[in-house]
């Protein structure tokens, strides 16, 4: 299509964004996005699948994750544009489906951004309370109570989001420099944490734990290590699944699969990545491999240090009112390690290892979701103002403000209505990746001309294009994971939606549908044929 028609269809001939993102800052951003806040959540679900082999199931979940990661990588190096899967699906499958799907994903990402900001605030209270009860420091315990109060917790989460917004609207190279060095600090602290866990075993931990409980049974519970491990044998899984064995492990697949999600987000800022053909495999596939090793090693070392029966019992007792187990130390690994070594420096290093990836996920998440907004505006589905780029920073300020506001709303949900969050966080991602997987399957056939001209990797296997195979594998795993999540193995309560959950889904999909239809009608009256935009790849 010529320049004149581009001026008619797209907002302008060039995005105004700059290619200044290197592979390694983006790689570390993916690590933050996928793992931030997740390790503690994984341990909290041990009692939901008692006896499951979590390291093995996370290794199994890595395989289909690599298929989807490879699919996104091929799309990203072939069409490195802002918008990622919005561009893939809208060009390869259907514009309406592409927009509504990406709109719901962006809404879920931003709500989750606020939720994890609240988690980052909670980790501070965990740290203060854990150190306070071990050291018998009433001041730290009181401070932890203040930090965990709803108003203060929301205020801290809001501060984190404002800082993240400030980083996101810096000049691109400066924002990603901050993300890179935060990643270096997180890697070092994680390495030290893993060494600490490797030096602990259930025998040494049992001695330290029982000594602490004897002196503090009024603070925690009088149940010693042996009693807790015996108690774990009485915990049964739901849905008729045995408390152990292969079936119990496979039932945990949805948790493992979801723990890998969000590695697709670099495709959304692919238009700003330097040398995308070389960088995107490192950023997506390389990051997923690293994250798989991280999750598996974390689980192996944690189980080695404290014993799975103990962790299963604590996971259960944290939700059992009959035991005075404070939620503020729940399954907080630095607390258990502090009982063994009683070293404040090590405890704070372990805190940083868990807390920093969570906090530093916020800037790249804001950056990613603003690129969704940017791409919609560039295709004229949103007002042109949303795609406006600051001449000083080369970043979309207005889109970033929108992302900040929605993220703040997510933090408010988590702090003031936490029971609503499971339905908000998880299911929309299982649905949201199904359409990109289908797009991978049909793209070489429905958009043969664009596939032949734009795609860098067109090798066939057994007569089918590689992206078709990757789409098939991804789709099968998504269907299995979705069925298990909402079907007989629903131990996390994800299927037990409340009114607020239905309201969120109605808004996430309903607003997207309305925006698309209204924009299509308005542009048609203005003489702008939006359909032309979806017949080609957007300009850089």
Whether the per-residue pLDDT at 16 is higher than 60: the answer is no
- Of residues 17 and 530, the one with the higher pLDDT is 530
- Of residues 328 and 48, the one with the higher pLDDT is 48
Task: State the pLDDT confidence band at 12, using cuts at 50, 70 and 90.
Answer: very low
Backbone torsions φ then ψ of 217, nearest 5 degrees: -70, -15
Could you give the percent of the chain with pLDDT greater than 90? Answer: 51
Task: State the pLDDT confidence band at 392, using cuts at 50, 70 and 90.
Answer: confident
Whether the per-residue pLDDT at 413 is higher than 90: the answer is no
Torsion, Cα 328 315 218 123, to 10 degrees, reads -10
pLDDT at 81: 83
- The mean pLDDT of 6-16, rounded to a whole number, is 50
Rounded (5°) CA angle 536-539-540: 140
Residue 539, SS3 per DSSP:
coil
Reduced 3-state DSSP string for 185-214: HHHHHHHHHHHHHHCCCHHHHHHHHHHHHH
Domains, the chain, ranges and CATH?
3-533 (1.20.1740.10)
Whether the per-residue pLDDT at 2 is higher than 50: the answer is no
- The mean pLDDT of 75-97, rounded to a whole number, is 91
pLDDT at 425: 61
Query: pLDDT for 17-67, tens place per residue?
Result: 667 899 999 999 999 999 988 888 788 778 878 888 999 999 999 999 999
DSSP 8-state secondary structure symbol assigned to residue 93: T
Q: At what angle do helices 362-378 and 85-92 cross, to 10 degrees?
A: 30
Please enumerate in sequence order all residues whose Cβ is within 8 A of that of 175, keeping only pairs 6 or more positions apart, or say none: 167, 168, 169, 363, 367, 395
In this prediction the pTM is 0.90
- Give the H/E segment covering residue 460: strand 460-461
**Cβ pair 366, 164 in contact under 8 A:** yes
Whether the per-residue pLDDT at 220 is higher than 60: the answer is no
pLDDT at 484: 65
Other C-beta atoms closer than 10 Å to the C-beta of 151 total: 10
């Amino acid at each position: 299509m010529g320049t004149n028609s581009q001026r008619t269809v797209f907002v302008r001939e060039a995005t105004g964004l700059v290619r200044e993102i290197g592979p390694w800052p983006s790689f570390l951003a993916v690590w933050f996005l996928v793992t931030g806040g997740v390790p503690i959540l994984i341990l909290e679900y041990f009692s939901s699948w008692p006896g499951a082999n979590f390291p093995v199931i996370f290794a199994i979940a890595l395989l289909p994750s690599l298929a989807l990661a490879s699919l996104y990588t091929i799309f990203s190096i072939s069409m490195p544009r802002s918008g990622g899967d919005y561009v893939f699906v809208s060009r390869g499958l259907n514009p309406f489906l592409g927009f509504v799907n990406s709109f719901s994903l962006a809404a879920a990402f931003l709500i989750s951004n606020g939720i994890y900001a609240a988690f980052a605030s909670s980790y501070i209270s965990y740290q203060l309370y854990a150190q306070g009860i071990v050291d018998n420091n009433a001041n730290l315990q009181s401070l932890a109570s203040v930090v965990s109060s709803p108003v203060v917790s929301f205020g801290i989460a809001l501060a984190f989001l404002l800082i993240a917004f400030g980083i996101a609207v810096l000049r691109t190279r400066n924002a990603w420099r901050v993300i890179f060095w935060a990643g270096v600090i997180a890697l070092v602290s994680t390495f030290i944490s893993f060494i600490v866990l490797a030096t602990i075993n259930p025998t040494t931990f049992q001695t330290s734990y029982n000594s602490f409980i004897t002196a503090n049974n009024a603070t925690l519970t009088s149940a010693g290590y042996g009693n807790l491990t015996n108690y774990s044998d009485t915990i049964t899984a739901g849905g008729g699944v045995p408390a152990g064995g292969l079936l119990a492990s496979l039932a945990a697949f949805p948790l493992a699969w979801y723990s890998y999600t969000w590695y697709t987000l670099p495709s959304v800022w692919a238009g700003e990545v330097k040398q995308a053909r070389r960088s995107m495999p490192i950023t997506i596939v390389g990051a997923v491999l690293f994250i798989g090793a991280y999750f598996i090693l974390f689980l192996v070392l944690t189980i080695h240090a404290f014993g799975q029966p103990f962790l299963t019992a604590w996971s259960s007792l944290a939700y059992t009112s009959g035991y005075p187990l404070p939620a503020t130390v729940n399954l907080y690994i630095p607390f258990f390690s502090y009982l063994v070594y009683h070293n404040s420096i090590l405890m704070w290093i372990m805190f940083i290892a868990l807390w920093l990836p969570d906090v530093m996920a916020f800037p790249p998440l804001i950056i990613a979701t603003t690129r969704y907004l940017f791409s919609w505006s560039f295709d004229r589905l949103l007002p042109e103002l949303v795609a406006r780029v600051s001449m000083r920073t080369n970043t979309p300020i207005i889109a970033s403000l929108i992302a900040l506001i929605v993220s703040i709303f997510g933090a408010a949900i988590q702090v003031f209505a936490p029971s609503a969050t499971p339905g908000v966080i998880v299911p929309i991602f299982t649905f949201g990746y199904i359409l990109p997987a289908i797009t991978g399957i049909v793209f070489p056939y429905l958009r043969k001309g664009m596939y032949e001209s734009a795609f860098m990797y067109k090798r066939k296997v057994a007569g089918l294009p590689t992206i078709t195979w990757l789409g098939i594998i991804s789709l099968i795993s998504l269907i299995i994971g979705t069925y298990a999540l909402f079907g007989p193995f629903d131990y996390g309560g994800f299927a037990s939606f409340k009114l607020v959950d239905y309201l969120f889904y109605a808004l996430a999909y309903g607003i997207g549908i309305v925006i698309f239809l209204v924009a299509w009608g308005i542009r048609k009256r203005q003489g702008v044929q939006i359909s032309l935009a979806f017949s080609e790849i957007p300009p850089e």
